[in-house]
């Protein structure tokens, strides 16, 4: 090809506000995410426009905890299903720790613009006026510090462009919206026995527990189930009565439990399990449990509004059984315990005879690290070097929970505890 001079292309400035190394603890600016019309390219878009009021923002934590084995926990090493995890967090999907950061309003034209935390896995759901999920995202996105990023619409095609100019949209009339948290706060991760069973006890126990007439049809008494650590009535609410197993996962069934959560991982597998779920077809919008608890049509039962909101969010987050607190209450695997003498956990190194005792990436639960990906991590040569220590140099948990439910983080290297590191009380 002929060679000829050409103009030097412009240098594009870095649009990321890098905060530097972690030990400096420089402020991390939020990112901004926007969409001209979240309904563009969505099936049933016209019906969604009529019903949608909010966009829910969820966060999935980086999973650093593990038992190093595919087991439910150290006390139930032989129980199924283990969901190819150790420990499993739910019966519906192989999951991590989920948090609901809150909601932002959807403009009358379908536009949104809001600030969001950077360097974290973000996930969105379209909600109605009762905060029930009408449509859910089945993947994640991310923002860098200070980044402004947009999307065309839910499940957009890469060949599409926004249908309208951004400057004409309702969401751009002022500054980006701030995420409005739910009453229990953005730090809290829901768990069945801690958060949901008490709601059922209060609102449904009179009929469905003890000597109640409804107990024969649906027993909502907390009791051991046939799925190891997963108790009843959690199993029945999520999988339905008579649920069984197919290997290490729940067996496929045509019907689900009345909670209405998506059973994202069932066996045997089908290709259609990995397709986008149609809007208005599942989760809290179609949940029989939510309808019974909130409508007042079932023997005049009407759950307290805040309890109902928590139940709705639990269903929409795929019915988690464990949350962060349950994880942090598990002891780290003990290398001296026979259960942890051998493991296929990485790294695979013939010089490491005991992964639990020698590996720089040894499996951890209570002391599993927090990874702040907004800061450079190259100052930590191993996972253990990023863990907080006491005055004697002993490793201590990066997160602890006070008796009243408050969550306390220990930043490392040390810094003054920020108010944002302490969540709202448990109730």
Domains in the chain: ranges and CATH:
26-61+97-172 (2.60.40), 192-326 (no CATH)
pLDDT of residue 374: 92
296 burial (CB, 10 Å; 0-12 / 13-18 / 19+) is exposed
**Neighbouring residues of 296: CB distance < 8 A, sequence distance ≥ 6:** 302
- Report the SS3 class of residue 53: coil
Alpha-carbon gap, residue 142 to 126, rounded angstroms: 18
- Report the SS3 class of residue 151: strand
pLDDT digit string (tens) for the chain, length 427 residues: 678 888 999 998 888 999 999 999 999 999 999 998 999 888 899 999 999 999 999 999 989 999 988 899 999 999 999 998 889 999 999 999 999 999 999 999 999 999 999 999 999 999 999 999 999 998 899 999 999 998 877 765 666 666 665 555 666 667 999 999 999 999 999 999 999 999 999 999 999 999 999 999 999 999 999 899 999 999 999 999 999 999 899 999 888 899 999 998 899 988 887 788 899 999 999 999 999 999 999 999 999 999 999 999 999 999 999 999 999 999 999 888 888 876 665 555 566 667 676 676 788 999 999 999 999 988 898 888 899 999 999 999 999 998 888 899 998 998 754 434 333 333 3
pLDDT of residue 422: 36
pLDDT of residue 424: 33
Q: List the beta bridge partners of residue 267.
A: 251
> Look-up: residue for tokens 């192989």?
94
Listing DSSP states for 385-423 in one string gives GGS-B-TTS-B--SEEE-TTS-EEE--SS--PPPGGGS-
Considering the entire predicted model, what is its pTM?
0.91
Alpha-carbon gap, residue 250 to 264, rounded angstroms: 10
């Amino acid at each position: 090809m002929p060679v000829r001079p050409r103009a030097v292309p412009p240098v594009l400035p870095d649009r990321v506000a890098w905060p530097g190394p972690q030990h400096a603890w420089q402020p991390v600016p939020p990112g901004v995410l926007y969409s001209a019309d979240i309904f563009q390219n969505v099936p049933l878009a016209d019906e969604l426009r009529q019903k949608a009021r909010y966009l829910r923002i969820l966060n999935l934590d980086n999973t650093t905890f593990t038992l190093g084995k595919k087991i439910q926990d150290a006390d139930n090493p032989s129980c199924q299903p283990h969901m190819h995890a150790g420990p499993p967090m739910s019966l519906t999907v192989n999951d991590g720790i989920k948090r609901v950061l809150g909601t932002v309003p959807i403009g009358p034209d379908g536009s949104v613009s809001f600030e969001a935390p950077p360097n974290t896995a973000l996930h969105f759901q379209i909600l109605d006026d009762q905060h029930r999920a009408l449509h859910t995202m089945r993947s994640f996105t991310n923002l860098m510090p200070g980044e402004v990023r947009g999307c065309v619409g839910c499940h957009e095609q890469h060949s599409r462009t926004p249908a309208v100019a951004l400057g004409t949209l309702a969401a751009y009339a002022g500054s980006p919206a701030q995420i409005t948290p739910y009453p229990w706060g953005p730090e809290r991760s829901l768990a069945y026995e801690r958060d949901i069973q008490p709601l059922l006890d209060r609102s449904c126990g009179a009929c469905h527990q003890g000597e109640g007439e409804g107990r024969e049809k649906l027993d909502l008494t907390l009791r051991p189930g046939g799925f190891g650590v997963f108790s009843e009535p959690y199993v029945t609410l999520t999988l339905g009565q008579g649920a069984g197993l197919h290997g290490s996962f729940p067996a496929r069934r045509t019907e689900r439990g009345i909670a209405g959560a998506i059973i994202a991982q069932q066996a045997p597998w089908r290709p259609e399990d990995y397709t986008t779920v149609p809007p208005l077809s599942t989760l809290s919008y179609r949940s029989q449990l939510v309808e019974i608890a909130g409508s007042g049509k079932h023997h005049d039962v009407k759950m307290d509004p805040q309890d109902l909101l928590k139940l709705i969010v639990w269903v929409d987050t795929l019915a988690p059984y464990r949350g962060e607190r349950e994880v942090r209450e598990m002891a780290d695997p003990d290398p001296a315990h026979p259960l942890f003498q051998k493991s296929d956990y990485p790294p695979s190194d013939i010089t490491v005879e005991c992964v639990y005792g020698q590996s720089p990436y040894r499996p951890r639960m209570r002391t599993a690290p927090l990874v702040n990906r907004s800061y450079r991590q190259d100052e930590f040569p191993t996972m253990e070097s990023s863990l907080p220590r006491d005055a004697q140099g002993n490793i201590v948990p990066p997160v602890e929970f006070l008796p009243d439910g408050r969550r306390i983080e220990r930043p490392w290297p040390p810094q003054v505890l920020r108010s944002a590191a302490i969540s709202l009380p448990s109730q």
